[in-house]
Amino acid sequence: MKDYIAFPKLGLEFNISDTIAEFKLFGVQFSLKWYGLLIAIGFLLAVIYAMRRAKYFEIDPDAMIDVVLVSALFAFIGARLYYVVFSEDRSYYFSNPANIFKVWEGGLAIYGGIIFAFVTGIWMCRLRKVNTLAMFDIASLGFLIGQSIGRWGNFFNQEAFGTNTELPWGMTGSVISYGYSSLYDTDLPVHPTFLYESLWCALGFLLLHLFSKKAYKYKGQIFSLYIIWYGIGRFFIEGLRTDSLMLGASLRVSQVVAGLSVLGGGIMYFYLRYKHNSLPVDLFATAEDGSSEEAEETLETEDSETAESIDETNAEDAENTADNEESISEEIEPDNEAVEPAPEVENSAGQVDSGDEAGQETEESEAPENLNMESDDSDDTSDTGTPQETEIEPEVRAEENLPSE
């Protein structure tokens, strides 16, 4: 059978197989598949991205690598177990446990991988003293990279497609056309749902990457947004697929998980935002590195330091107020020190006038001509009457000294 993938309304057809190459190594036959290669490329690019941005999220790159490698191993195991448990062929796998390990025959579920990766990540973050929420933030961005690339493995395998469509990008292929399903017509194009999810994840990565640079405020913010974003997209995309894992006759497992993801992510987002706005201390960071007791001690220390700072400020304000009142009272109190007398001026009659009287004489000497000036001596005197007394007094004394007749 010829392997091909076609987009009839676009006039495109590709002769593509799911296998890149086949070779023998030490007598063992190996096949290099597009699916495995694309997953490996996506994982590698995700790790490179995480390494370059580890310090931005305050994560030690060496510790992060340990967390990533162990989590990736368990993610692979989780993806396989999730598929086996919810698959229609689960009775076959339970009857033949050895076949569970034959992953090359297909059967990996992304939700199982995500769940196992994050559960393992919590354990590894505590072991390596890495902030769990910060690690989940950067891992979420890495997941979007890996998912957007890895989904193209479904394209080469001609799987994870949807129901029939008349849209221009409807696809068909050798596997799709010769398959059998009651959910779609094999003679008509189908939704390339792998493409929808790949583009959704790529767009999510772009938006959250920009968000992490412009509006990232607290740890766990990007992780909660990733859960919401992927859950919304997967819920609607899963509704188009024809190979969904089912719970009963009509309940799709992935749609249930997607709905719970959106709900849980929303609760987490608003809870973390509330914690960020009410408590400036990052409780998660201290709790991951040690225990919640350290976080409580940190809060108590900061509270006591704040109280001491307030007391010191109040004491300084009281002292400044007292100093200001004292300085004001000193300015208001009369000056008890002796005032230096003004320079004395001797008038023409030989008497000594004070500086104030001299000033008055000067002012009156410059007054208009309405003043009565009879002699030169009166020009230097004031209007107090002192000059007349000064002139008359010698005559009176002379008369008193005359001998009586």
Q: DSSP readout, 230-272? A: HHHHHHHHHTTBSS--EETTTEEHHHHHHHHHHHHHHHHHHHH
Per the prediction, the chain carries an average pLDDT of 78
Torsion of CA 176, 181, 184, 189, to 10 degrees: 10
Q: pTM score, two decimals?
A: 0.66
**Model confidence pLDDT, tens digit, residues 207-262:** 999 999 999 999 999 999 999 999 999 999 999 998 888 877 778 999 999 999 99
Are residues 262 and 203 in contact, defined by beta-carbon separation less than 8 angstroms? no
| pLDDT bracket for residue 355 (50, 70, 90) | very low
The pLDDT score that the predictor gives to residue 401 is 46
The pLDDT score that the predictor gives to residue 122 is 95
Cα dist. 28→17, 32, 36, 103, 266 in Å? Answer: 21, 13, 18, 17, 50
Percent of the chain with pLDDT over 90: 46
- Compute the chain's Rg from CA coordinates: 49
For residues 190-196, average pLDDT: 95
Question: At residue 48, does pLDDT exceed 50?
Answer: yes
Are residues 175 and 4 in contact, defined by beta-carbon separation less than 8 angstroms? no
Are residues 116 and 77 in contact, defined by beta-carbon separation less than 8 angstroms? yes
Give 146-194 as a DSSP string: HHHHHTHHHHHHT-S-BSB--STT-BEEHHHHT---TTS-TTS-B--HH
Are residues 160 and 243 in contact, defined by beta-carbon separation less than 8 angstroms? yes
d(CA 303, CA 297): 10
The pLDDT score that the predictor gives to residue 286 is 39
165 sits in the region (left: phi over 0; alpha: psi -120 to 50; else beta) called beta
For residues 174-187, average pLDDT: 81
Q: Which of 139-153, 155-169, 218-232, 284-298 has the lowest mean pLDDT?
A: 284-298
The pLDDT score that the predictor gives to residue 364 is 46
The gap from C-alpha 7 to its chain's centroid, in whole angstroms, comes to 44
Give 182-230 as a DSSP string: TTS-TTS-B--HHHHHHHHHHHHHHHHHHHHHHT--STTHHHHHHHHHH
The pLDDT score that the predictor gives to residue 307 is 57
The pLDDT score that the predictor gives to residue 317 is 61
Question: At residue 323, does pLDDT exceed 70?
Answer: no
Write down the residue that tokens 């393992």 correspond to: 120
The pLDDT score that the predictor gives to residue 328 is 54
For residues 20-42, average pLDDT: 87
- Give the HSE-up count for residue 321: Cα atoms under 13 Å, Cβ half-sphere: 6
